Amino acid sequence: MTSISAIVVNYRAYEELDACLTSLRDQPDPLEILVVDQESDAAEVGPRKARHPGVLWLAQAENSGFAAGVNLAARHATGSYLFLVNPDSVVDAGTPKALAEWLAAHDEVGVAGSLVRDTDGSIQGSARRFPDLSTVIAGRSAWLTRRFPSNALSRRNVLTGASVCEPTTVDWVSGASMMIRREAFDQAGGFDARYFLYWEDADLCRRLKSLGWTTAYVPAAGVTHHGGRSSRGSARALIAFHKSAFRYFVTHTGAVGRIASPLAALALAIRLGVKLLLREPGRREVAP
């Protein structure tokens, strides 16, 4: 069994984190478990340290974001594979082992992502194609995809679903449940810490592709993501999403795209404004 380090970046999601850590500790094969606790609350951490012995806690006074949190944990991790999972997720028995074994059997694959389901059993769009113009109208969270999920454009962008039962090569997978080969992670220099939240996973997979690595979606392995919808609706998360989307655009676009970047910034600002106006009040943040 190849050594696996499970990394959880937590931000004020202590109740959900308990269930996540239990699911990691109950895996058939032992894992090294590291928690980066952003804006750490000692009163909340103390009881959880007692309940989850053996977990390495990396308490942070401030919130540095998901990408920086993973990079910090990776510097302390000893595993040949890094398993990233959100604190509001419960990991199926055998998922880390299955993903690591897939990587071990496929030398060209740098990242493997599992199936990610909502609490109602529906499958989240955790494996996708790199964004292009079609993503604006048919991305995972676009109205067209929510209203007509089986349309051709959405199926082009979102590469998951009940019909996808076998491992398949994809452009990128969500950091909500992502196994990274340590060699590939180090070669890429880890995550780009300029991404506070969102799109850092797509950026990493794209940079790995340029280095010759591929990314796979392995739906036989799975996690249940309890807070995926609520975190995206919070104002702070919406702002971070659009800032990161613009960073991804300017990082990976060509010369023409860079010239047009002010238009892209304007379009994203308008989209953000609409999302903020339409969001449900009282949404709770569960991600860093």
Question: Which tens digit of pLDDT belongs to each residue from 70-83?
Answer: 999 999 999 999 99
Euclidean distance between CA atoms 97 and 62, whole angstroms: 33
Domain ranges of the chain: 4-130+156-228
Instruction: Give the residue carrying structure tokens 């897939």.
Output: 102
What's the DSSP call for residue 22?
H
pLDDT score recorded for residue 285: 43
Task: Return the pLDDT at 255.
Answer: 87
Does residue 194 carry a pLDDT above 90? yes
Considering just the CA atoms, what is the radius of gyration of the chain in Å?
Answer: 18
Domain 4-130+156-228 has CATH 3.90.550.10: yes
- Give 168-192 pLDDT, tens digit per residue: 999 999 999 999 999 999 999 999 9
Q: What pLDDT does 284 receive?
A: 46
Taking the C-alpha atoms of residue 48 and residue 43, their distance in angstroms, rounded to an integer, is: 9
Measure the CA–CA gap between 123 and 119, rounded to whole angstroms: 9
What's the pLDDT at 280?
64
CA gap 283, 262 in Å, rounded: 30
Predicted TM-score (pTM) of this structure: 0.91
Q: What is the mean pLDDT of residues 136-147?
A: 69
Q: C-alpha distances in angstroms, 51 versus 30, 39, 43, 48?
A: 17, 20, 14, 5
In this predicted structure, the answer to whether residue 122 has a pLDDT above a threshold of 70 is yes
Question: Average pLDDT, stretch 27-38?
Answer: 97
